[in-house]
């Protein structure tokens, strides 16, 4: 039987280290991942056209993991170039 994802939290220190590294690499490589860079972003209303909550990815701190160590990303991100 398959098990679903666990809700184990990662140590806050490990989250902080991972997020610091992500910030460095995102800047170094010009990573596009924020809502404002996505075709689904509605600039007039600052919301996602697909209805996803986007406070964290659009306006939150640059990070790869939330406080519990879960990935912060959007599976429907599509680069608006």
Query: Does residue 66 sit within a domain?
Result: yes
Number of neighbours of residue 47 by Cβ within 10 angstroms: 17
The structure's pTM equals 0.76
Q: Strand, helix or coil at 33?
A: coil
Task: Please classify residue 41 by burial: count the beta carbons closer than 10 Å to its beta carbon, then call 0-12 exposed, 13-18 middle and 19+ buried.
Answer: buried
Query: Does residue 78 sit within a domain?
Result: yes
Query: Does residue 3 sit within a domain?
Result: no
Query: Does residue 4 sit within a domain?
Result: no
Identify the domain containing residue 39 by its residue range. Answer: 10-81
Domains held by the chain: number: 1
Query: Does residue 75 sit within a domain?
Result: yes
The angle subtended at Cα 80 by Cα 19 and Cα 27, nearest 5°, is: 30
> Using one digit for the tens of pLDDT, what is the confidence trace for 46-77?
889 999 888 888 888 999 999 889 998 888 99
Q: Is the pLDDT of residue 33 over 70?
A: yes
Query: Does residue 1 sit within a domain?
Result: no
Query: Does residue 21 sit within a domain?
Result: yes
**What average pLDDT does the segment 13-34 reach?**
95
Query: Does residue 71 sit within a domain?
Result: yes
Instruction: Read off the tokens for 34.
Output: 């924020």
DSSP letter assigned to residue 58: I
């Amino acid at each position: 039987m398959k098990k679903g994802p666990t809700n184990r939290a990662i140590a806050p220190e490990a989250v902080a280290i991972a997020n610091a590294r992500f910030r460095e690499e995102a800047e170094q490589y010009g990573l596009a991942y924020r809502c404002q860079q996505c075709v689904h972003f509605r600039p007039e209303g600052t919301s996602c056209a697909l209805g996803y909550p986007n406070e964290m990815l659009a306006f939150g701190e640059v990070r790869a993991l939330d406080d519990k160590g879960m990935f912060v990303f959007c599976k429907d991100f599509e680069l608006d170039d």
